Chains A and B, each alone.
Chain A
Amino acid sequence: MKNEMTMVEADIWHPVQQQQLFRSLLDAFSYPGRIQSCTTEPSIALLSALLDGQTTLSDPQDLLDESVWPKLEARRVPYDLAAFILLDGSRAPERAPKLGTLEEPEHGATLLLRVAALHADSASELRLQLTGPGIRQPVSLGVNGLHADWIAARNDWVSDFPLGVELLLCDGQRFVALPRTTQIKIGGAA
């Protein structure tokens, strides 16, 4: 019985686990820059909590194991058409993903970027200053293993609000959300 319980707890495909994952996602989007922890590898866990047959996923760098695709149920589509895109954050960003339209900004893509490490305050390769909805006092976020061009590209993609993209940065155990409303500046706290 005890074995069964631990199995259920680690199973990201179980509805109970997916509900908890979604609540961490909800906190992440409500309070951008707050790092959320996750019991398993977050990029796949978050995809499992969000995707089903009604939505689309693109994995241009083949980061996903082939065996995961059937469980995700999502339709495999090219980069330009995908609602969700999984990418390696250490590589430079490519062309713009779907940004939505003025009438339907919700069609802007959600990008999951795998990075080496996320830190709330310790020294990191890249320091970001965040302001915007959900942030009472400017928050700083440290990221290791994110290509430096990503922030400039993302800031360009979200410059025509309401159009834009959402970023989810995921390291080995934690993740953080950067919705399109968050203003990101590169540099440490003043």
Chain B
Amino acid sequence: MNAYYELPMEDAGYSFGFLDEYAKKEVRRCILKAISVPGYQTPYASREMPMGRGFGTGGLQLTLSLIGADDTLKVIDQGSDDSVNAVNLRQFVQLTCPGVQVTEKTQEATLIQSRHRIPEKPLTEQQILVLQVPYPDALVVVEPSEARRKVMHGEADYSRLLVKLYEDVVRFAEITLSHRYPTRINGHYVIDPSPIPRWDVPRLHQSPALVLLGAGREKKIYAVPPYTVAEPLVFDDIAFRVEDFRDSNGNRIACRCCGSTESFLDELIDDAGKVTHQCSDSSYCEEHQETISARKQA
């Protein structure tokens, strides 16, 4: 979206939040059912949005149905507030929801829409996290028929998914899923937690904040309620593990900007072929840099 874009204003104009009230009520009713049946993919009538499906329309419809003029919104894409997708979505919400504040600081936001990351900073009960989901069904890798997948989900039959994980262990001595790691919610439904890295999966467990997941193209909404058990699918003798950020000497790699050794890192390769690492969560990285420089001055 270019900066000079204006919504085509017809006589009636657009209502607050772009969506009409009927579309919002539909999404709202689905959200409440999604919370009541944790992890169940609740179907809803996904509307056409003025952007391509696959660009976060599911998350955006959730955000627009939730948001009010007193909310403060943060939009992130792969941990960054400044990437194209995040900037576009944020501009769109500012354009259609007059009065809404936007922020880049995790702790200031009441509503956080995110693509592929959960912020490093722990969320609170006053916040809601909305995740954009491209493929909502964790069973799609083992069963092509949606009708049959719905039965399998209802019966909590995940044996074939466990066989797929087992085959990975046999072939590679490691479960090869780097992101979208199947996670069981409240002991029943297994969800695809959107393409968040494994690093973020433990944050879903007993989170104080509500997590809502929206897939616009697949027309599904599901939820991880606060203080709910969320366990990654594993075997008794093979523990779940997150990304390993140690170098060949076994030392934890630090972020090249802020020096943090506690965050999820992106690997960057420059033109000379030199590999460096940097925090994926840009807001966390900036804040860490500020505290370090403040400490140096003191």
Contact = CB atoms under 8 A, between A and B. Distances in A.
Given A31-B125, A179-B36, A22 B28 contact: yes
Given A30-B210, A133-B225, 8 more contacts: A16-B68, A16-B69, A19-B67, A31-B226, A50-B29, A103-B151, A105-B154, A180-B36
A179 to B, nearest CB: 4
B37 A134 contact: no
Interface in A22-50: 22-23, 25-26, 29-31, 49-50
Interface in A126-148: 133-136
B143 interface: no
A120 interface: no
A60 to B, nearest CB: 21
A51 B29 CA distance: 8
Contact of A26 (B15, B21, B25, B31): B31
A63 to B, nearest CB: 21
Contacts of B121: none
A94 B129 CA distance: 39
B154 A51 contact: no
Nearest to B34: A106
A154 to B, nearest CB: 13
B66 A55 contact: no
A103 to B, nearest CB: 4
Contact of A20 (B42, B68, B125): B68
Contacts of A51: 25
Query: Looking at chain A, what size class is its interface with the partner chain?
Result: 35 or more
Contact of A29 (B35, B128, B150): B35
A52 B30 contact: no
A18 interface: yes
A55 B68 CA distance: 24
Nearest to A136: B227
A166 B16 contact: no
B26 interface: yes
A15 B186 contact: no
B216 interface: no
A105 B37 contact: yes
A140 to B, nearest CB: 16
Interface in B52-92: 65-69
A30 B226 contact: yes
A67 interface: no
A162 interface: yes
B38 interface: yes
B18 interface: no
A113 to B, nearest CB: 16
